[in-house]
A and B are shown apart, each in its own frame.
Chain A
Amino acid sequence: MTHPFCFRIGDRTYSFLYDTESGSLHNVDHVTFLCAKERYGLEFSEQERSEYTAVSLAERDEIKAELEKLVKEGVLDSPCSVTMNKKRVGEVKALCLHICHDCNLRCKYCFADEGTYHTSDRAHMPVEVGVKAVDFLIANSGSRRNLEIDFFGGEPLMNMKTVKAVVEYARSREKETGKTFNFTMTTNCLLLDEENRRWLNENMYNVVLSIDGRREVHNRVRKTPNGKDVFDVILNNALEFRKIRGDKSYYVRGTFTALNLDFADDVLFLNDCGFDQISMEPVVTDIPELAIRKEHIPAILSEYERLARAYIERRKTNKWFNFFHFMIDLEGGPCVIKRLTGCGSGCEYLAVTPRGDIYPCHQFAENKPYYMGNVLKSTDYDLSVSEKFARNIVTRKPECADCIAKYYCSGGCVANNLNFAGSMDTPYELSCLMMRKRMEVSMAIYAIEGQA
Chain B
Amino acid sequence: MKHINSIVKDGMKKSNIGCGECQSCVTKKPLL
Min CB–CB distance A280 → chain B (angstroms): 15
Min CB–CB distance B4 → chain A (angstroms): 5
**A349 to B13, alpha carbons, bound, how many Å?**
27
Q: Could you tell me if B7 and A335 are in contact, using CB atoms closer than 8 angstroms? A: no
**A298 to B10, alpha carbons, bound, how many Å?**
32
Chain B residues near A330 (CB-CB < 8 A): 7-8, 11
Chain B residues near A144 (CB-CB < 8 A): 20-21
Residue among A91, A336, A348 making CB contact with B16, cutoff 8 Å: A336
**A65 to B19, alpha carbons, bound, how many Å?**
41
Chain B residues near A145 (CB-CB < 8 A): 21
Q: CB-nearest residue of chain B relative to A12?
A: B31
Does A421 sit within 8 A of B, measured CB to CB? no
Min CB–CB distance B5 → chain A (angstroms): 4
**A338 to B22, alpha carbons, bound, how many Å?**
8
**What mask results when residues 318 to 341 of chain A are scored 1 for a CB within 8 Å of chain B, else 0?**
000000000000111111111100
User: How many residues on the B side are at the interface (Cβ–Cβ under 8 A)?
Assistant: 32
Does A31 sit within 8 A of B, measured CB to CB? yes
Does A94 sit within 8 A of B, measured CB to CB? yes
Q: Could you tell me if B14 and A26 are in contact, using CB atoms closer than 8 angstroms? A: no
Does A113 sit within 8 A of B, measured CB to CB? no
Does A432 sit within 8 A of B, measured CB to CB? no
User: Using a CB-CB cutoff of 8 Å, which residues 1-32 of chain B contact chain A?
Assistant: 1-32
Q: Could you tell me if B20 and A361 are in contact, using CB atoms closer than 8 angstroms? A: no
Chain B residues proximal to chain A, CB less than 8 Å: 1-32
Residue among B2, B23, B26, B28 making CB contact with A94, cutoff 8 Å: B23
**A448 to B31, alpha carbons, bound, how many Å?**
7
Q: A73-B9, A75-B6, A452-B28 are in contact. Are A348 and B20 (CB under 8 A)?
A: yes
Residue among B5, B17, B29 making CB contact with A28, cutoff 8 Å: B5
Q: Could you tell me if B12 and A336 are in contact, using CB atoms closer than 8 angstroms? A: yes
**A26 to B14, alpha carbons, bound, how many Å?**
16
Q: Could you tell me if A349 and B11 are in contact, using CB atoms closer than 8 angstroms? A: no
Q: Could you tell me if A331 and B4 are in contact, using CB atoms closer than 8 angstroms? A: no
